[in-house]
Amino acid sequence: MRKPVMAGNWKMYKTPAETRAFFEAFVPLVATARECDIVICPPFVDIPAAVAASETSRVAIGGQNIDYRKDGAFTGEISAPMLKAAGADWVIIGHSERRQFFGETDETVCKRTVAALEAGLKPIVCVGELLADRESGNTAKILEAQFSGGIAPLTKDQFQEIVVAYEPVWAIGTGKTATPEIAAEAHQVIRNAMKAKFGSDVRILYGGSVKPDNIKNLMAQQELEGVLVGGASLTPDSFAAIVNF
């Protein structure tokens, strides 16, 4: 089995002071976790504090988004080289909240993924269906479309460097976790698309209401090679319980 990725997405929560307090408590709790990659993605302004506080630990830091251009007159944006220079090694791309509220499309997901790779950041590329897609039986079709627009245009070398997160939108922040079987089935759709296009696959994480009390059952599915955790990554105890499951 490949090394699972246990990643936390803090969304728009925490100040730099709260970030320092989190790491002070969290780092000792995961000191013996060696069999996984641990990644925390705080808001941009917290990245320097997170990088400093995690320096001597195995916890890596990521951003939650990047612009796909290197620099320029794009008020309010942050580029991949800037994020890398600030000490981050990972970045979440195409989270459903970016797609839903900030006009992210499969095309911009692909551009951001390429920009991340060129800057030496490891992208966690998110895909996932809406509740309406699932109810109308269109889950596989949507996942395949997101794959062909956002991931398939990568070169084989680029593809091999990414991680994909399957996050059903109806399970994000709702307390409704996909059952391990539902998650595994969706992962298989994505994995088949990967193999058909690239002849190989990369790690696929699950995200959506992952908690300390469901992590064991989820990770019992071989299809799941890690998790992307929102709400439960905000407190040191609960995220450590997930990492150490």
Instruction: Examine the residue annotation and report whether 35 is marked as an active-site residue of this protein.
Output: no
Is the Cβ–Cβ distance between 112 and 94 less than 8 Å? yes
- The burial class, CB within 10 Å (0-12 / 13-18 / 19+), for 172 is buried
Q: Which listed residue (97, 104, 167, 225) is catalytic?
A: 167
Taking phi over 0 as left and psi of -120 to 50 as alpha, with beta for the rest, 240 belongs to: alpha
Stretch of 102-110, 137-145, 194-202, 226-234 lying at the interface with ligand PGA (CB under 6 A): 226-234
Instruction: Examine the residue annotation and report whether 187 is marked as an active-site residue of this protein.
Output: no
- Of residues 149 through 168, those in contact with ligand PGA by CB under 6 A are 167
Both tokens of residue 65? 């988004």
Residue 72 CB, nearest distance to ligand PGA (Å)?
29
Separation between Cα atoms, residue 181 and residue 218, nearest integer Å: 8
Q: Nearest 5 degrees, angle CA 237-CA 15-CA 235?
A: 10
Residue 40 CB, nearest distance to ligand PGA (Å)?
12
Residue 228 CB, nearest distance to ligand PGA (Å)?
5
Kind plus residue range of the DSSP H or E element containing 22: helix 16-29
Nearer to ligand PGA, 189 or 229 (CB): 229
Stretch of 24-32, 57-65, 183-191, 224-232 lying at the interface with ligand PGA (CB under 6 A): 224-232
Is the Cβ–Cβ distance between 123 and 95 less than 8 Å? no
Residue 71 CB, nearest distance to ligand PGA (Å)?
28
HSE-CB of 40 using CA atoms within 13 angstroms = 35
Nearer to ligand PGA, 224 or 232 (CB): 232
Find residue 163's DSSP bridge partners. Answer: 124
Q: Which of 1, 51, 65, 8 is nearest to 221 (CA)?
A: 1
Q: How many positions of this chain bind ligand PGA (CB under 6 A)?
A: 13
Stretch of 13-21, 181-189, 214-222, 230-238 lying at the interface with ligand PGA (CB under 6 A): 230-238
- 65 is a site residue for ligand PGA (CB under 6 A): no
Q: Which listed residue (95, 97, 104, 225) is catalytic?
A: 95
Binding site for ligand PGA (CB under 6 A): 9, 167, 172-173, 207-210, 228-232
Q: Could you list the active site residues?
A: 95, 167
